[in-house]
Amino acid sequence: MKFIAVKENFKDGVLLVEKNTGRKTTLPILSTILCSAEKGKITLTATNLETAVEVWVGGKVEQEGRIAIPARVLSSYISLVGGEHITCSVKNGNIELVSTAGRTIIHGQAADDFPLVPQQTESESFTISGPVLQASLQHVVSASSLSDIKPEIASVYVYLTHQKAIFAATDSFRLAEQQVDGVFGEKGWSQSFLLPIRSIHELTHLLDREDGNVAVSLGVGQVVFQTKRFRMVSRLVEGSFPDYQRIVPTAFTTEFTLSKDVLVDMLRVAGVFVGKLSDITFHVNPQDKKIEIRAQNADVGENQVYANTPIIGKEMSITFNYRYIMDGLQNMSGDVFFGFASPEGPLLMRSKDDSSYFYIVMPMKI
Amino acid sequence: MTNEELWQIVLNEAEISISRANFITWFKHTFISRNEQGIITVSVPNGFTKEWLENKYQKLIMRAVRTTCPEVRSIEYVVSKATTPETPQKTTPLQVNQPTRPVEEQLEFQELRIDKNTNLNPRYVFDTFIVGSFNELAHAAAQSVVKNIASLYNPLFIYGGVGLGKTHLLQATGNAIKQHDPSLKVYYTTSERFTNELVAAIQNHEPQRFKDLYRQFDVLIIDDIQFIAGKVRTQEEFFHTFNTLHENNKQIIFSSDRPPKSIANLEERLRSRFEAGLIADISQPDYETRLAILKTKLATKKSDLPKEILEYIASAVEKNIRELEGALNIVNARTHMMGIIPGVEEVKELLLQITSRQKRVVTAANIIKEVCVFYDINEKQLFERSRRREVVKPRQVAMYLLRQDFHGSFPYIGQKFGGRDHTTAIHAYEKIVKDIKDNPEFADEVQILREHIYET
């Protein structure tokens, strides 16, 4: 194998796939990047047997071939080394990298041992804009469960109809939903799948500098995301996402609208004083048109911050996890609507001018 | 040779031929799912394994298979949902009661635990249902329905006041049936949801789908059936659903806050059908049962309170088990916050918000107004000296309520009703007491009237 590539391109490719390598010590081949030069294309592949990522690097192939290179060594080396172009060739099972700045040999492994990336058969496909996909996933992923005990919620639920895509996630304490308009399929068409949380982190990372469309194809137990730059295969989570529509409150006992910046500032101050449980208490008083956020920490002290705004409904005192509120608020902008369903029921948060996203969170019982 | 034995031979062979890491990685959770006409189908957990076995180990596997089964021509690989044949991964909802957490806790969306197919909440089970004299008939009936589906009491109609455990009993029955025979299609819904789905179905022009949906169940449980009163189209649709299910020997269970005959605006044909099976009531728990309930709740919360406090709560909250639990929570939260267990006096104060609501002030004027509305007569008529039947009965009921709930003296009551003698009031009171005892239908009537008075 022998090819010449622009060093920066090669570096970008390596750094993109490197994250997707496996950390299993039982199968050392998983911690390598497969570098192949075939049919005029240079491809870098990494997999952890849950997801597989292929990135295409522009360059000139002089001789076809493939080799598996330890990912950590390759990525450390390539991000430090200088030079404009880099020439890679295989010599006796090792890879030789030559640039104007020097010459390196890294011990490789046999490419034959590298896992094969599953082919996609019998699939349904649709396209979605890369930045939209990335933003939607990022908006909801913080609400998904980090524990693997219930895999169906350690994932993001994606539901598509011909003109709408819905992304939802919950860890049973809070829930986030993002809706996106677009054209995804024929009229009457609908699809849904559960994408595991690790794949989402991987995918959002890959989409970082992607402004084109992503072609998504859904197969049996797996999904493929493809752009001009990369192809990512991920397994899907089996099981069914909870029927969450019924937990979305529609009527509120108390509600108010306040600018996000004001709220974030208040919460940050209160955040300094949160206790071990990260609990903060909202005291909402319609008579005085006052919102008070209280936090106290047995070791540090306590704090109350106020803001004035019109409040509709009953007086309410309710406690939440500080981080949960912040997670939701981050994805909003402008004026933010807070609706409390009941003293032991969920709080619904949404941007006043944007009905495509909402976030609901359950209170704490103190 | 069974599929398992055959695959075991392959596994044994593979284990010696390839490295341990490879063996574990590629052969974990694989099994033969089918073996027909010389074609073996191997189930694999993911696409990676499929590709690898197909392309790298095909020869090895084929050789191993052929040594024992020479007739095998080809091997196919499919990515399958189940991990292994022995333990088909069933989505067991969290049956185990969650370990009790401290009082400070992050609340969960309870609804997420609801089983999607049955719409049942696994939290409700018979084990946590406390049986006393007030609900033993309903409980026994539900238990026997679990054992004799659609053959003994069909439909089973359970009624009782707010917060007395109707929903718990219904859901527990559903869960028990499902546990007893997982193949049965059990579905729990409320009449409100039934109506909403019907409306949606009509809107989407797919009423047939709605019909088919409800007619496929083996056990249909409908909570708060009284709300279909007055909804003509829902009643009609429900009537047909009911008939289809009943004809096909499917179990139907209802709950309501009143017996069928007291549900106003209910079509006669539905009423008679509701009454065709068994009607069981849940009345109010007696003091001992309330105490027992408190102790059980306390035990599940793993906390403890002195006897006197429990006794006070049991005596103060009479009519509603949900409020009983609420009272307990208030006291518990207080104990936790202050670090000391409050005294009985303090508890009395804490519970004022619950107990005071129960003994809400009822005015004489309010009672009279509601009686008039209920029996649809003019307030003036009530005070007149008329002895027409349609006036006499409401008048007596009003007197009874004034005595019983308002604690007015008999002379006062007599005076109130156009300067009648106090013996008239006594007679009216006693007559109604006797009628309530003798005639359950009339007792319900008075109960409903009372609810009206206390609601406003």
CA angle B379, B381, B386 (to 5 degrees): 155
β partners of residue A57: A42
Average pLDDT over residues A66-84: 89
The residue count for chain B: 456
The answer to whether the CB atoms of A52 and B25 lie below 8 A apart is no
CATH fold of the domain at A2-113: DNA Polymerase III; Chain A, domain 2 (3.10.150)
**What does the alpha-carbon distance between residue B447 and residue B452 come to, in Å, rounded to a whole number?**
9
Contacts 24+ apart (CB under 8 A), B110-115: B111/A242, B111/A243, B111/A244, B111/A246, B111/A247, B112/A153, B112/A170, B112/A172, B112/A242, B112/A244, B112/A247, B114/A242, B114/A243, B115/B178
User: How many CA within 13 A on the CB side of residue B455?
Assistant: 8
β partners of residue A99: A102
Q: Does A233 touch chain B (CB under 8 A)?
A: yes
The answer to whether the CB atoms of A175 and B109 lie below 8 A apart is yes
Chain A residue with the nearest C-alpha to that of B90: A239
Domains B3-79 and B126-281 share a fold: no
Dump pLDDT digits (tens) for B311-356: 888 888 877 888 888 888 888 777 777 777 788 888 888 777 666 5
The domains of chain A are located at 2-113, 124-244, 248-361
The answer to whether the CB atoms of A235 and B47 lie below 8 A apart is yes
Instruction: From chain B, pick out residues whose CB is under 8 angstroms from the CB of A278.
Output: none
Q: Does A239 touch chain B (CB under 8 A)?
A: yes
B377 closest CA partner among B362, B364, B393, B353? B393
Place of tokens 């006693």: B430
ipTM of the complex: 0.75
Tokens at A344, concatenated = 């032991």
A362 closest CA partner among A329, A312, A327, A320? A320
Instruction: From chain A, pick out residues whose CB is under 8 angstroms from the CB of B333.
Output: 365-366
Dump pLDDT digits (tens) for A122-171: 778 899 999 999 999 999 998 888 877 788 888 999 999 888 999 999 98
> Would the annotation count B166 as a binding residue?
yes
How many CB atoms lie under 10 A from the CB of residue B244? 14
CATH fold of the domain at B126-281: Rossmann fold (3.40.50)
Instruction: From chain B, pick out residues whose CB is under 8 angstroms from the CB of A363.
Output: 107
CA angle B100, B101, B107 (to 5 degrees): 110
User: How many CA within 13 A on the CB side of residue A316?
Assistant: 24
Which phi and psi (to 5°) does residue A281 adopt? -110, 130
Q: Does B47 touch chain A (CB under 8 A)?
A: yes
Q: Among A240, A247, A321, whose Cβ lies nearest the Cβ of B116?
A: A240
Place of tokens 């003698």: B421
How many CB atoms lie under 10 A from the CB of residue B249? 11
The answer to whether the CB atoms of B104 and A279 lie below 8 A apart is yes
**What does the alpha-carbon distance between residue A173 and residue A346 come to, in Å, rounded to a whole number?**
9
β partners of residue A357: A178
Angle between the B287-300 and B307-316 helix axes, to the nearest 10 degrees?
A: 130
How much of chain A exceeds pLDDT 70, in percent? 99
| Amino acid, single-letter form, for residue B26 | W
Q: Please say whether the dihedral angle defined by the alpha carbons of residues B163, B165, B168 and B169, taken in this order, is positive or negative.
A: negative
- pTM of the predicted model as reported, rounded to 2 decimal places: 0.69
CA angle A201, A238, B190 (to 5 degrees): 110
Dump pLDDT digits (tens) for A192-216: 999 999 899 999 999 988 888 999 9
A297 and A275 Cβ atoms separated by less than 8 Å: yes
Q: Among B25, B51, B333, whose Cβ lies nearest the Cβ of A119?
A: B51
A60 closest CA partner among A81, A85, A82, A80? A85
Average pLDDT over residues A347-353: 92
What distance in Å separates residue B135's CA from the closest CA in chain A?
29
Best probe of the A interface among B18, B22, B23, B48, by most A CBs < 10 A, is B48
3-class DSSP state of A171: coil
Quick one: pLDDT at residue B172?
Answer: 92
Assess whether pLDDT exceeds 80 at residue A352.
yes
Quick one: pLDDT at residue B383?
Answer: 83
The answer to whether the CB atoms of A362 and B109 lie below 8 A apart is yes
Q: Please check whether the domain covering B3-79 is classified as CATH 3.30.300.180.
A: yes
Tokens at B427, concatenated = 């007679």
The answer to whether the CB atoms of A49 and B24 lie below 8 A apart is no
In 3-state terms chain B splits into helix, strand, coil percentages (rounded to 5) of 55, 10, 35
The answer to whether the CB atoms of B46 and A117 lie below 8 A apart is no
Tokens at B164, concatenated = 């007395």
> Would the annotation count B163 as a binding residue?
yes
Q: Among A27, A118, A365, whose Cβ lies nearest the Cβ of B47?
A: A118
What distance in Å separates residue A362's CA from the closest CA in chain B?
6
Tokens at B358, concatenated = 């129960």
Cβ-based burial of B237 (10 A; exposed 0-12, middle 13-18, buried ≥19) = buried
Tokens at A235, concatenated = 């397994």
3-class DSSP state of B90: coil
Instruction: From chain B, pick out residues whose CB is under 8 angstroms from the CB of A28.
Output: 21
Quick one: pLDDT at residue A261?
Answer: 92
- Which residues of A, range 273-312, sit inside 8 Å of B by Cβ? 277, 279
Beta carbons within 8 Å of A290's beta carbon, 6+ residues apart: A284, A306, A307, A308, A311
**What does the alpha-carbon distance between residue B161 and residue B255 come to, in Å, rounded to a whole number?**
10
A224 and A217 Cβ atoms separated by less than 8 Å: yes
How many CB atoms lie under 10 A from the CB of residue A290? 14
The answer to whether the CB atoms of A221 and B47 lie below 8 A apart is yes
Chain A residue with the nearest C-alpha to that of B91: A239
Angle between the B440-455 and B422-438 helix axes, to the nearest 10 degrees?
A: 120
B174 and B188 Cβ atoms separated by less than 8 Å: yes
DSSP A44: E
The answer to whether the CB atoms of B112 and A119 lie below 8 A apart is no
CA angle A85, A87, A89 (to 5 degrees): 170
The answer to whether the CB atoms of A364 and B108 lie below 8 A apart is no
pLDDT in 10s for each residue of chain B, 456 residues:
788 888 888 888 888 888 888 888 888 888 888 888 888 888 888 888 888 888 888 888 888 888 888 888 888 888 876 544 433 333 344 333 333 344 457 788 877 777 777 888 888 888 888 888 888 889 999 999 888 888 888 889 999 888 888 888 999 999 999 888 888 889 999 888 888 888 888 888 888 888 888 888 899 999 998 888 888 888 888 888 888 888 888 999 999 988 888 887 888 888 888 888 889 888 888 888 888 888 888 887 777 788 888 888 888 887 788 888 888 888 877 777 777 778 888 888 877 766 655 555 678 888 888 888 888 888 888 888 888 888 888 888 988 988 888 888 888 888 888 888 889 889 999 999 898 888 878 888 888 888 888 776
The answer to whether the CB atoms of A277 and B22 lie below 8 A apart is no
Q: Among A26, A239, A240, whose Cβ lies nearest the Cβ of B21?
A: A26
Best probe of the A interface among B106, B115, B336, by most A CBs < 10 A, is B106
Q: Does B81 touch chain A (CB under 8 A)?
A: yes
The answer to whether the CB atoms of A221 and B81 lie below 8 A apart is yes
The answer to whether the CB atoms of A364 and B47 lie below 8 A apart is no
CATH of domain B287-358: 1.10.8.60
Quick one: pLDDT at residue B358?
Answer: 52
Q: Among B56, B108, B333, whose Cβ lies nearest the Cβ of A173?
A: B108
Angle between the B20-27 and B3-17 helix axes, to the nearest 10 degrees?
A: 150
What distance in Å separates residue A281's CA from the closest CA in chain B?
13
Give me the DSSP letters along B384-441: S----HHHHHHHHHHHHHHHHTT---HHHHHHHTTS--HHHHHHHHHHHHHHHHH-HH
Buried b (16+ CB within 10 A) or exposed e, A180-202: beeebeeeeeebebbbbbbbbeb
CATH fold of the domain at A248-361: DNA Polymerase III; Chain A, domain 2 (3.10.150)
Instruction: From chain B, pick out residues whose CB is under 8 angstroms from the CB of A111.
Output: none
B400 and B432 Cβ atoms separated by less than 8 Å: yes
In 3-state terms chain A splits into helix, strand, coil percentages (rounded to 5) of 20, 45, 35
The residue count for chain A: 366
Torsion, CA B9, CA B10, CA B16, CA B20, rounded to 10 = -120
Q: Does B103 touch chain A (CB under 8 A)?
A: yes
Quick one: pLDDT at residue B84?
Answer: 43
Q: Does A235 touch chain B (CB under 8 A)?
A: yes
Q: Does A173 touch chain B (CB under 8 A)?
A: yes
Instruction: From chain A, pick out residues whose CB is under 8 angstroms from the CB of B56.
Output: 116
What distance in Å separates residue A36's CA from the closest CA in chain B?
18
The domains of chain B are located at 3-79, 126-281, 287-358, 364-455
Where do the DSSP E strands lie in B148-204?
Answer: 156-160, 186-190
DSSP A120: P
B296 and B128 Cβ atoms separated by less than 8 Å: yes
A124-244, superfamily in CATH?
A: DNA Polymerase III, subunit A, domain 2 (3.10.150.10)
Where do the DSSP E strands lie in B131-201?
Answer: 156-160, 186-190
Instruction: From chain B, pick out residues whose CB is under 8 angstroms from the CB of A196.
Output: none
Quick one: pLDDT at residue B390?
Answer: 83
- Which residues of B, range 262-281, sit inside 8 Å of A by Cβ? none
Quick one: pLDDT at residue A91?
Answer: 87
Instruction: From chain A, pick out residues whose CB is under 8 angstroms from the CB of B48.
Output: 47, 49, 52, 115-118
- Which residues of A, range 330-349, sit inside 8 Å of B by Cβ? 344, 346
B401 closest CA partner among B455, B438, B451, B358? B451
Rg (CA), chain A: 25
Tokens at B29, concatenated = 């959770």
A356 and A332 Cβ atoms separated by less than 8 Å: no
The answer to whether the CB atoms of A220 and B52 lie below 8 A apart is no
- Which residues of A, range 200-219, sit inside 8 Å of B by Cβ? none
The answer to whether the CB atoms of A115 and B48 lie below 8 A apart is yes
Task: Report the first-to-last Cα separation within chain B, whole angstroms.
Answer: 76
Quick one: pLDDT at residue A20?
Answer: 86
Chain B residue with the nearest C-alpha to that of A224: B47
**B155: preceding bond cis by omega (within 30 degrees):** yes
Beta carbons within 8 Å of A78's beta carbon, 6+ residues apart: A7, A10, A11, A14, A15
**Residue A44 pLDDT level (bands cut at 50, 70, 90):** very high
Instruction: From chain A, pick out residues whose CB is under 8 angstroms from the CB of B55.
Output: 116
Which one is predicted more confidently, B298 or A72?
A: A72
A&B contacts, CB < 8 Å? 96
What distance in Å separates residue A247's CA from the closest CA in chain B?
7
Dump pLDDT digits (tens) for A257-296: 999 999 999 999 999 998 888 889 999 999 989 999 999 8
Q: Among B22, B81, B112, whose Cβ lies nearest the Cβ of A172?
A: B112
Assess whether pLDDT exceeds 50 at residue A1.
yes
B393 closest CA partner among B376, B409, B413, B408? B376
B364-455, superfamily in CATH?
A: DnaA protein, C-terminal DNA-binding domain (1.10.1750.10)
